[in-house]
Structures are given as structure tokens and as C-alpha cells.
Structure 1
Amino acid sequence: MTQALVSILDDEPAIRTMLADALEEAGFRTMSFGRATEFEAALKTHTPDVCLVDLSLPDKDGLTLVHRLALEQGATVIIISGRAQVQDRVTGLELGADDYVTKPFDPAEVVARIRARLRRDRPVAQTGNCARFNGWTACFDSYTLMDETGEQTPFSHAEGEVLRLFLERPKRLVSRAVMQETLGGAAGESFDRAMDVRISRLRTKLREDPKNPRLIKTVYGAGYIFLGDVDWS
């Protein structure tokens, strides 16, 4: 089995070395970069499974980069940052990051979080990677939604996690507790807000009426129900 590739983007050489050593000892392949421009150039020839991204970069805004990665790459995106404010965490998750680790950290914790994310990202054994529902096709290999005319709309890795959760549980209540347990992350206001943002974006991409959505229904005080008929392939 090919070892997962982790790209590390941090302007501190000591951080890059510490993470690379811990990850390679744990069996991962790594690539390390000190500047966003070098990191982005490498993406043209390499497709990492996980991107570790520092927010304080010398040449580009880290949050903008995280947002682009979430939209265009299939990789898991984990922010590593010295910014410990709750709002920074919320913003990072809203922009598409899958996890947020604050400095200083134990590299063993980062390794454990990466392993946990990759386990969650594996397809369920009995489920394919494309699902058809109500005139839509969601493909989780390419991170795209396709309508009946063939028009494609990309969705982020974070949005895909939520969509897949709904499509695997059609016409069943998905509570906030189930979402937190399945998708990971600390329960609380920041998690709830991140989920609300992802669901709002999914509704927009599915061309739902925000005041009366047909597919993703909110059950106030309980969670959500996906009302479509789903066929996996």
C-alpha cells in the first residue's frame, strides 16, 4: 500500500523538521515548504493526502490558501497555528479546514490527528464513491456535484464530509451529536457554527430555497433530515 503523503507548510525550519521526523517515523511520506509559492508550485506535480498549513506565512495569507485548498484539492487540510483565539479556529473551519492545531503542540498529537482524519476519509465498505439523488450526482472522487444537464459544481472536502453523512442516512434524523461523533471536532458553539456554514453552502450548491429547502431539512432543536432518494454506485 502506498504511504500517505503529507505536505508541511510552515515558515519555521524547526517546526518543519520536527513534524517531518515524527511523520516519517510513523510511516508517512513528507514534503516540506517554507513559503506558500513553493508549496503551490509543488501541488502541480504532487497530490498530497494531507496538508499541514501554518496561517502566518511570509508571502501569502494562510486563511486564503486554506480556502483555496478546500475548494480545489481533495486533501485533508489541517491548520497549525500560534493563533489560539476561538474566532481564528472558527474562521479556519468555516473556510474549509478539517482540523485546527495550536502551537506549541506535541508532534505525536499531530500524527494521531492525521491518522484519525485518514480513517474517517476512507469510503465505507458497502458504499460507492458516487451517489445519485433527485436529479443530482455527487462524486466523492472528484469532489463534484453534477445536475441533470451535466453542469458540474465543485464542493470542498469539508462540505463533502457533511454531504456524505446525509447521503448515507437518507430520511433519518442526523443529530448534532451524531455529526460531532462522526466528523470529529470538539462539541460546542464553534462546531455548530462550522456545520451551519457547511450546510448552508451545500444548500446553495444544490439550488435549494433557503427559506424552504426540499432536500436538507432542519429539525429545530434536533438536527437535520435528508429527504432525497439515494442510489449509490
Structure 2
Amino acid sequence: MLKDTISGFELYQATDVDHVMALLDRFGKNSWMLAGGYDSLDWFKNRGKNPEIIIDLAGIEELQGVRELEGKLEIGALTTLTEIEQHPLIKERFSLLAEAAGKVASPQIRNAATLGGNLCQDTRCWYYRYGLNCYRAEGNTCYASGPDALNREHALFGANRCMAVTPSDTAPVLVVLDAEMIVRNAEGERIIRAEDFFMDPAVDLTRMTVLEPGDLLTAIRIPSTWAEQSFYF
């Protein structure tokens, strides 16, 4: 249920990715990674999530910015949506992504919200967010499936018990552009195709992405395959 208050927690401000890995190894599932914070703070205020440890990623420079790398355009996971909307390289080569980033929420939110946060945020199903015991919350029903339910922005196709979808505006664009997600954990780095990054509800109803505890999305790489092509969003 909505409470609009935040439980107590310990805050750690990570200085680099290795520091994040050490904190995740130390605190495990009791920790929560904070990027721009807009989705996270909603969860905290409503007591939907009550982490004991919050790892602030904002000071990690290597997770920020846009750069060219081996014929691909790499975007740090902490790059803000405003930066993506306005960056000349993105506007020139992948205007579809710039347009999608520019449609997220309001200018004030885009100034702080990050690409990584937009991709990894949890579903915004009203029933799930309100704390009802639905399938996604490991319950035994979907409140959004009824004919009179609030489900206008839910799945039309591919629903598997749960009808909720990712609220990310940038996700479908990165799938179309054949992007790659760069993920770090204690064992090293791995690359996940954007198409495979989002969890199939038939596999796991409780997660929006394939990220496991201890994983950190560090960057998104876009190949030149679709550079300077025309799209409609």
C-alpha cells in the first residue's frame, strides 16, 4: 500500500566499478543500486522496496558519456536521457534513439534519469505498484487481466499470466538497432544482445531483465548497421 515514507538505510557512494563489485559482494541481495533515482525513490517512498544498503552510482565517471569504440557507439549506462537526446553523434547516426529519449517523462526528469535506469526499471503496472499480491509479486492472480481492469498500457500479445510490460521508451529502439548490453559482475564482463536482455514472462514473471544479483549494466553499444537510417517512433 502507498505510504510516502522511506525506511532507514545505509548509503555508500561508489567511486568506480570495482568499488561497486566489492560492495555487491559484501552486501549481496540486501543492496540496491541507485542511478538517476526516479524509479527507485518511488519504490522506497511507497515501501515497495526496503533495501538496507543503497549504492549510489552517480560519481562513477566511467559509466557516463558517449564514445566511439571499435566501430560502435558506446553509451555509458549513467548517461542522462537529456544528454542522449541532444548528443550530436546520436542525433546524426541514431536519431531514433534521440527521439525516444526525448519522449520520456518531462525535461526535469530527463535531466537526471539515466539510460541504464530507463532500461532496468520495474514495470509500472498500477496493481503491482500498489502492493497487491499478483503473479509478479509471487501471488496467484493478475488484476490487470479483467475486462474492466486498468490495463490500457499492458500487453496485447505474448502475455503469460502477467500482462505487465517494460515501461522503457528506449528499450524497443535499442532492440531494433541491434544494440548490445555490457554487464559486469564479480566474474568479469559479458555482452547480452538487447533482444535477449528483457526477461520473457514465460521464463520468470518476477523480473523485467535477465540481470542477476551482483550484475551491473555498465554500457550500451550500438553497431553501425543501422546508422543514419530513417525510422519512425
Q: TM-score range by the shorter chain?
A: under 0.3
Instruction: Give the structure with the higher percent helix.
Output: 1
| TM-score where L is the length of structure 2 | 0.27
| TM-score where L is the length of structure 1 | 0.27
Higher relative contact order (CA 8 A, sep 6+): 2
Instruction: Give the structure with the higher percent strand.
Output: 1
